[in-house]
Amino acid sequence: MSAQIAHAFAFSLATTLMATVVIFRAGDGTLSVAPAAEYDGDEAAIVREIDPFATWETNRRP
């Protein structure tokens, strides 16, 4: 999934579930999204963490 689609999906999932989600790079280089509570992979693979309770400035891209 592209970075743009991954970010859009992550924001949608975070606000729907009202839970923190992570965007991470899988072993084959693709981006994936999962709830943070269910992610048990390498922390170095996390590209971004989206918290639906944070302010907009905290969640925007660097």
Model pLDDT for residues 2-56, shown as the tens digit of each residue? 889 999 999 999 999 999 999 999 989 999 999 999 999 899 999 999 998 886 6
Q: What is the DSSP letter of 19?
A: S
Specify the pLDDT at position 1.
Answer: 80
Cβ partners under 8 Å of residue 11, min gap 6 = 50, 59
CB 50 within 8 A of CB 14: yes
Q: What is the pTM of this model?
A: 0.81
Specify the pLDDT at position 3.
Answer: 87
Specify the pLDDT at position 18.
Answer: 93
Specify the pLDDT at position 54.
Answer: 80
Specify the pLDDT at position 55.
Answer: 64
3-state SS, residue 21: strand
